[in-house]
Structure 1
Amino acid sequence: MEKEWAAAPRIERQGEDNRLILGDGRVIGFREYGAADGLPMLCFHGTPGSRFMFGIADEFARHKGLRLIAPERAGFGLSSFAKARPLARSADEMAALCDALGIERVAVAGVSGGAPFAVAFAAARPERVAAMGLVSPIGPFAGPESPKRIGPAHRLTFRVLPGVPLLYRVLFSFGRAGFLLVPDAMAALLISRSAPSDWRILSEKRVRKNLLRGLREGVRPGIGGAVEELRCFSRPWNLAFENITAPTILWQGLSDRNVPVSAALRLGELIPGCDVQRIEGAGHYWILRNYGHVLESVTRLAREAA
């Protein structure tokens, strides 16, 4: 696959927004946060989400000498839409981004729906990944890697609805309209269906504002990106987990209501040597108060590996 990007992908910069133009003309939008000359880390946003998600960690990254590179996946924000493809395909695009930035090895961090893409990169390009951190990750739902049991609501979301694409699109269209037109109401909805520990986190104005900004930009172009990703998650991932050599930490709140905890923990079992941190009482949005802890931990692993 690497030869497809040999047509020299190029980067276009416009203010803080950046675009990687791939050899086939598609675009990957991204932003950078932190120190321009710092230790590079690819940061994968959730589903839906955008390049804005990690903006809240900018000051911390500057202080710690980290260069956070936050790419958007197909159909989100500035990135071109593409039909659902194998997860491993995204690894080629991230390799092309690293090449265009002149980066040989990176740490990676994946949050929620971004975790499968971080794992795909680490499995397909193990020589390029120095360390990996996964937070509240979506785990596999199909094939031999899937957990034995998930709850009925998550079974409906990740196993049943992907087979009814029209209904999926209707539900996502309502959600998109809500985020664009009545974001405060959507924030209240997020809080109402979250774990009690998440209520306190999402009630903080700065945190809520950053989260909503990332979600609104993610769905601004449409719902295609989110729909295709959830369809992708519901199929066998077909990743060579055994190829992953990067030291990995996985943080999972045991009160998470957004992703199936059993699938997240199963993902930790599949990654060789993964340090799984089970956090009692924590919900899906634990990361929004713990960016510093996560980034510092992954950075430490990367520097130790180096």
Structure 2
Amino acid sequence: MGSSAVETLVLPDGRRLAYATYGDEDGAPLVFHHGIPGTCFLGSLFENAAREQGSWVIAPTRPGYGESDPHDTTLETWATDCEVLADHLSLDSFAVAGFSGGGPFALAVAEQSDRVSAVGLVGALVPENDGGLLETLSRVSPALEATLCVVRWVARVRGPEFVLGQFTGETVDSSTASAVSQDFRRALAGRPTGAVRESRLFANEWSLPAPDVPVRAWHGVADENVRIDPVRAVAADRSTVTLSEIDTDHLGALLTVREALLDLAVTGVANE
């Protein structure tokens, strides 16, 4: 599985925003939002498919993860950051996608920008989902930070199998296992400020952005990270959202629909 060098953009307030690109730079652009925790490296899962389909995947790292500077991120501030990135890359029109905790951020970008053509969500977090222990710990930042540091240490000692176990019970190929494991470790390198900030953000009351563009959502019926019932409720309530249920789990859903997400960038419609 290929990888791209991490690049950085200096935002108007002086912060660094890291990102990586995968696939064909002349292809239809898809801005992919990683989960919590995560970095731009998760976009490497799209490398081969993007090259085959002639698409360009742009994967930014949100503040406080990897090489991106920390910030008191909100959905609105992230949408502004992403607009700057789109300007930097001269994107006139693009689709956005969000996996897991990246889903609300993708929706926020689509709600604020008139350049977004379509949205793809996979295993996306919605307000009614209960984060369990993580949500409880997120109300006390030192406790959450300490827990994440322990998780980082265990991931380093036990390797990719431990990391994969946090996202899927299915067997994946070695390149996928390596990519997911590296992304997880990079996201928690140093102080895990991004994960702490975003966990606290979603532990409090928040509203799911509602862009006017079409939203295509996929969710694994066996997803234990983000329960499907609240997602079904959102899809039933919003005419712009089309939900497809997949017989798999959290990471399994992302691996299953990679090509469909790239279709969104090309045509605005996901072919299955």
Q: TM-score, normalised by structure 2?
A: 0.89
Per mean C-alpha deviation after superposition, the further-off stretch among 50-59 and 160-169 is 160-169
| Superposition CA RMSD, Å | 2.2
SS at match of 1:200: coil
Q: Matches of 1:269 and 1:122 in 2, distance apart?
A: 20
Residue of structure 2 aligned with 1:97, choices 66, 85, 99? 85
- Which residue of the partner structure matches residue 287 of structure 1? 253
The answer to whether structure 1 residue 265 and structure 2 residue 232 are counterparts is: yes
Displacement of 1:296 after TM fit?
3.8
The answer to whether structure 1 residue 58 and structure 2 residue 47 are counterparts is: yes
Displacement of 1:247 after TM fit?
1.2
In 1, are the aligned partners of 2:94 and 2:265 still within 8 Å (CA)? no
The answer to whether structure 1 residue 130 and structure 2 residue 117 are counterparts is: yes
Q: Matches of 2:266 and 2:89 in 1, distance apart?
A: 23
Q: Matches of 1:26 and 1:237 in 2, distance apart?
A: 25
In 2, are the aligned partners of 1:201 and 1:207 still within 8 Å (CA)? no
Unaligned stretches of 5+ in structure 1? 1-14, 141-145
Q: Matches of 1:297 and 1:178 in 2, distance apart?
A: 37
Q: Matches of 2:111 and 2:212 in 1, distance apart?
A: 8
Q: Matches of 2:91 and 2:160 in 1, distance apart?
A: 39
Residues 89-124 of structure 1 deviation map (CA, whole Å, 9 limit, x = unaligned): 110000010011111221011001111100111122
Displacement of 1:220 after TM fit?
1.4
- Which residue of the partner structure matches residue 104 of structure 2? 116
Q: Matches of 2:88 and 2:51 in 1, distance apart?
A: 22
- Which residue of the partner structure matches residue 176 of structure 1? 152
Q: Matches of 1:166 and 1:267 in 2, distance apart?
A: 33
Which structure has the bigger radius of gyration? 1
Displacement of 1:253 after TM fit?
0.8
Displacement of 1:44 after TM fit?
0.5
In 1, are the aligned partners of 2:139 and 2:203 still within 8 Å (CA)? no
Q: Matches of 1:270 and 1:173 in 2, distance apart?
A: 39
- Report the number of matched residues: 267
- Which residue of the partner structure matches residue 237 of structure 1? 206
Displacement of 1:206 after TM fit?
1.8
What percent of counterpart residues are identical? 27
Unaligned stretches of 5+ in structure 2? none
- Which residue of the partner structure matches residue 247 of structure 1? 214
The answer to whether structure 1 residue 71 and structure 2 residue 49 are counterparts is: no
Q: Matches of 2:250 and 2:157 in 1, distance apart?
A: 24
In 1, are the aligned partners of 2:149 and 2:188 still within 8 Å (CA)? no
Residues 23-56 of structure 1 deviation map (CA, whole Å, 9 limit, x = unaligned): 1110110000000111011000111111111212
Residue of structure 2 aligned with 1:207, choices 176, 179, 189? 176
